[in-house]
Amino acid sequence: MTYSLYPLKFDPICKEKPWGGKKLGELLGKEISHLDNCGESWEVSAIPGNISRVSNGFLKGNSLTELIEVYMEDLVGERVFERFGNDFPLLFKFLDTGDKLSIQVHPGDALALERHQGRGKEEIWYVLDTTGDAELVTGFSREVSREEYQKCLRENRLMDILRVEKVKKGDVFHIPPGQVHAIGKGVTLCEIQQSSDITYRIFDWDRLGSDGKTRKLHTGEALEVINLKPFESRVEYSAARNKATELVSCGHFTTRILQFDRTINADYMFVDSFIVYICTEGRAMLNYPGGSELIKSGETVLLPAEIRDIKMVPQEPCTILETYIA
């Protein structure tokens, strides 16, 4: 069988952030010399104004949305296309924190649709690197009332009721809508999420934006969506060598990790979806009917749904995050 599509790479969309750093260039090889503080590299995106463009093969220069319009279910899968149409449902990023992010929360699908005509934001983090005593905020340390939460916020004591966790390379966290969270200083991670850029900022450490003013807070909107009960975000897993290990499977996507040092034959007959690979370490050839594509640390590849069989041949020990719509 011959295929009209092939494993697709995209030009990273690198973003200046007041809390950003330099690690996306140093660690992942992103071209960020034009930015003072690069906080994010959007790897696969269909967010308006930030739509990814192909960087390899005969489709080079075409946008992700243009590809879906032309190739439809051959690119994203029949069930995915029936569900989402021309809208690509996920967003893939790398983040680097030279300073801590704001304390924030995201709405779920229902409220995001009603208020923003968009999607909610469920996400996972895979930690790539840390510097110093790196920490994350992952919800509340205990159940609190609305009154106690608001009192702590007014008195600048919010950290008294939040859960702070030390983090290291390889840690995984699942952040559902409604969970208060923040990424601390000195963390480089991969973020896999619904295709949404809706964030309710609760507290931003009185930091000034590029305009010299404090950034806008969304305390009222956040209160409508916050889950005031503790939720265990840390994902405990034990990766099996040379086979896929599931990390998170939620209603919006499934992510597995592959750590391999020998050839893996991947068969995707079980899933009617595109696959997105994010290489976090090493390099491997992705051999598919009709050709091959190299993926190396810091790179992201979208495997079209019409390609159901692929052979991953490591050039050195390799770690890949694999995501699809179940």
Residues with active-site annotation? 201
d(CA 306, CA 31): 32
Helix (H) or strand (E) holding 260: strand 254-260
d(CA 68, CA 72): 5
Q: What is the DSSP string of 204-247?
A: -TT-B-TTSSBPP--HHHHHHH---S----BPP--PPBTSEEEE
Give, as one character, the DSSP assignment of residue 153. Answer: H
CB 253 within 8 A of CB 317: no
Dihedral over alpha carbons 175, 177, 178, 184 (to 10 degrees): 40
Tell me phi and psi for residue 116, to 5 degrees. -125, 0
Q: What is the DSSP string of 162-180?
A: EEEEE--TT-EEEE-TT--
Tell me phi and psi for residue 238, to 5 degrees. -130, 105
CA–centroid distance for 243 within its chain: 22
Q: Which residues share a beta bridge with 136?
A: 165, 183
Q: Is 67 helix (H, G, I), strand (E, B) or coil?
A: helix
Residue 296 C-beta-side C-alpha neighbours within 13 Å: 7
Residue type, 125: W
56, two tokens? 């390899």
Terminal Cα distance for the chain, rounded: 25
